[in-house]
Structure 1
Amino acid sequence: MLDNPPDLLRLSASVNAFKTNKRHCFPSKAAVRGSLLEMRRSNKVAFVSAGMLSPKKRDHMLARRQLYLNYGALSLATILNDQGFKTLLVHGEHREPSELLDALVQDGTFPSSLPVMLSIPSFYALEWAQRFCKLVRLADPSAKIIVGGRWVVGPDPGWLRKKLPEADLLIPGLAEPVITSLLTATPIVRRLSAPTPQFVLNHRLVSGFERYQPSIEASRGCGMGCSFCEERDIPLEKLLPAEQIAAALAMIAGQYGTSDVRPYLQTSMFAPNLNWSAGLVSAVRSRGLEMKWRTESRVDALTAETIACLAEAGMKVLDLGLETASPTQILSMRKSAHPDRYLQRASKLLKACGDNGVAAKVNVLLYAGETAKTLTETRSFLDEHSEHIAGVSVGPVVAYGPPKTASILLNEWSGSGCVAVDSRSTDETGITHVHLSREIDAESAELASLDMSRRYMNANAYYRLKSFSYYPRDYTRHDFDRDVDASDKSRLPFSQ
């Protein structure tokens, strides 16, 4: 990978007077090392959120425009910044690793006397991370590379060590309690308790922060036991106080210099009661805030009365984990032991969203054991509630993780006829796509996902939902239409 001439040429663009390898006409490894080592080292901690070489679902121009703020890495950068360290968070997005490293060289951040902190938010970012680590080690053999990202590092650090031999340390859990120690000669690498942070993220530490919508981490954990969920056994923590959320909204407006931002209240299951929601309305009003925000929850976690309060407090988009409306699949996923009650509450919640001007984006997961019958059950429910659905996100289940953890899911799913498309991918990438059942293979599942997405979402709906949170803040409808024209229409998840 490192002998790829374009990679090295991009990396070296900011470094003068490289000696060249005449035979290949690109800078030699020794030249890259020597030129960088001659540069003065910075005293800045660079946090790098690993990007993706291609989008995790379908590769098209619209998917490559999306920005996902790595609020976990930003939490760590904020802690160190508050302690007096100079910190910076850069996102790989869909750039080449060499392009990002070159940018760090150009602005004087790299090389540094302090570690490079690499956060890998998902297994889809692993290959990007591998390339980045090799480039860093090539450019500066003495650089200290510390890798985190609990969903990727945590399952099997030994497996990841083989994938990232250049890494000096792998941090398996949440790093807030140990981040300061990682800059010392005696780093703490064991897992420590890390409750929801009580501070507001400093978004100005993000390179190009104006492009990103901000985040507020409202709570951690879930603990509802869904079979496919990473947080199924992690207890749900208490929400931050409503007044604290309102104060965070105000501070974010100050960071951006405008209230025209749309924060995401990050939590795996946003489940406030009516009193908390009323308190947020009061706190927001007392501060004169009129900020629109977004969050996510289960379809059976909020009441209609609570939705009405939250809408008053500024909630405009709610991502709902319906996943399925098939009683069989509800039980298989362990979403609920009472499918009828689950669907009744989902129905009331969707109606409440519609009545209160909250855009409900419904997540649907085609799961192991899926059949034409179970798909029809889900489709019928969505048809019945389509007037209250602002859009959908539909895709087949994937087994994430190395063999040590993915095999547990794959063994469970095998009882319903679900098998891996390529069993080697589990060890190679940590991503295992599956044939859902004997009736629905992987290709059929993808087609069914696209069909369902297009059934409930047109281009206007897709743009409204994506631009609210994920497209760059200066991305316009004109930009969107241009990208639609440049995309393969067969890959787009909405009707024209």
Structure 2
Amino acid sequence: MPRSNVIVFVSAGMSAPKKRDHSLARKQLYLNYGALSLATMLQLKGYETFLVHGEHDTPEVTIERLVKTGMLPSSFPLMVSIPSFYALDWARAFCALAKKFDSSCRIIVGGRWVVGPDVAWLRAKLPEADLLVEGLGEPIIESLLTGNPDLRRLSAPTPGFTLNHLLVDGYARYQPSIEASRGCGMKCVFCEERDIPLERLRDADDLAASMALVQEQYHGAEIHPYLQASMFVPGSRWSERLASAVDHQGLRIAWRTETRVDAMTPETVAALAQAGLKVIDLGLETASPTQILAMRKSPDPDRYLRRAADLIEACRKHGVHVKANVLLYAGETQHTLEETTAFLDQHASGIAGVSVGPVIAYGPPKTAEPLLSDWAPRGARPVDPASAEAIGITPMHLSKDFHADDVEAASLALSRRYMDANSYFALKSFSYYPRGYTRAEFDSDVAASDPAQLPFALETAEASEFSCS
């Protein structure tokens, strides 16, 4: 059969949404900017590349789409990226279908969070994969196209080029990404980047130039880029330079990023808001001193919470919308949850929404067992001790106060305490719903969803104060 000369990248989809399965959850899109980085690198070297996301389509639908468009079969290896353990079952089925369609297809699988922890474990889960690549692929990507791949784990600093979103199938549906920095290294027990050193932010002028190039890719239309950084740590001078560079470029782009509550100072917020920062995902995680220490977020909980309060107030003052991330952790009790709730209540005027969920041990036994051992003295235990080996995802009973069912109820109750349909739609449509997804479509999907699973209150105000402009 004729073969294309296209290097096809597939971002593995999910059979069901990560948290709760309803119509709204299936609308969310997550751009695999790591796979897009590799596709862009190869395209800059003269190769023809293409990235398709499995989303919530079946593996069969994705294979059929690639065959119908002539992308498969290809003379190049098929690159499969697994962004999380929730995508592993989908990837397994997709690889089997790809081999069935083209028995000579060489499948290369990457995704550092899934491949890296235990290659032997993953090889047993993905027998059709010809090659498993640990770590970041940028330094070795071109060698993977040859019969002599370089499989060293090499450092891969933040790319200096702009991601080419035009390489993404249906790119106009996705909000774009711009990498600002990599790494974290802050040693939080639950974080996958706890031991990866934090890099300096990209040059502010370079970042503004990337924003301008991405807007050109979208033909000047409104975009809300996500400045990707596991921990966005801008200093005052850098923030002022970014504001100046954005003004020099004539950009009017509202963007989003994430950081810790004690990593960004209130003094930077005014300049960042001027540069276009509109939404920030703030890793509060907890406001309980006991849990702050347990997570190793900070050795000084009082200082941590003062800095959190000051940053939230600065964001409120300068019109930056805070989405606070809350993690129900091992050893959680009614008292520790009440401490977090009291803090959120106190600063509710500066919080546009919250994302609440329990800590989960990700990875095969090799990586899950140290976490489980750390959590056991706090009263936490796995819902299913065999799940780490089976699927690489271990949900937890957090304590005698919070069994798994109790955790789900508490997560929903806390989310609904601070979000109604208006605030939820504003936050999700800013970054995760398809571009152009309307409020009427949202309301229709709400009506089609089980209200017991929705993480927001259905009683809404007449109008939302949230504005993306």
For Structure 1 versus Structure 2, the TM-score category normalised by the shorter chain is over 0.9
The one-letter code matched in structure 1 to 2:157 is P
Shift of 1:259: 4.4
Shift of 1:303: 1.6
1:146-196 CA deviation, whole Å, 9 max, x = no partner?
000000000000000000010000001100000000001100112111111
Provide the residue aligned with 1:215 in structure 2.
177
- Alignment of 1:353 onto 2:353: no
- Alignment of 1:166 onto 2:117: no
Provide the residue aligned with 1:318 in structure 2.
280
- Alignment of 1:421 onto 2:383: yes
What secondary structure sits across from 1:61 in the alignment? coil
Aligned with 1:293 (options 239, 255, 260): 255
- Residue pairs, 1:36-435, within 5 angstroms: 39-435=1-397
Contact 1:177/1:194 (8 A) holds in 2: yes
Shift of 1:258: 1.3
What secondary structure sits across from 2:135 in the alignment? coil
Aligned mates of 1:122, 1:146 — CA distance in 2: 16
Aligned mates of 1:485, 1:190 — CA distance in 2: 51
Aligned mates of 2:55, 2:395 — CA distance in 1: 23
What secondary structure sits across from 2:208 in the alignment? helix
Contact 1:259/1:291 (8 A) holds in 2: no
1:225-280 CA deviation, whole Å, 9 max, x = no partner?
10000000111000001001100000001111014101000000001000000000
Provide the residue aligned with 1:456 in structure 2.
418
Percent identity, aligned pairs only? 64
Shift of 1:438: 1.8
Provide the residue aligned with 1:3 in structure 2.
none
Provide the residue aligned with 1:14 in structure 2.
none
RMSD: 0.5
Aligned mates of 1:419, 1:73 — CA distance in 2: 35
Provide the residue aligned with 1:16 in structure 2.
none
Contact 1:416/1:437 (8 A) holds in 2: yes
1:186-218 CA deviation, whole Å, 9 max, x = no partner?
001121111111100000000000000000010
Aligned mates of 2:106, 2:135 — CA distance in 1: 19
Aligned mates of 2:155, 2:283 — CA distance in 1: 27
The one-letter code matched in structure 1 to 2:155 is S
Aligned mates of 2:151, 2:444 — CA distance in 1: 47
Contact 1:219/1:267 (8 A) holds in 2: yes
Q: Which has the larger radius of gyration?
A: 1
Report the count of equivalent residues.
Answer: 458
Contact 1:213/1:473 (8 A) holds in 2: yes
Aligned mates of 1:168, 1:351 — CA distance in 2: 52
Aligned mates of 2:13, 2:100 — CA distance in 1: 19
Any unmatched runs of 5+ in structure 2?
459-469
Normalization by structure 1: what TM-score?
0.92
1:288-325 CA deviation, whole Å, 9 max, x = no partner?
11111000000111122201110000000000000000
What secondary structure sits across from 1:129 in the alignment? helix
Aligned mates of 2:164, 2:125 — CA distance in 1: 32
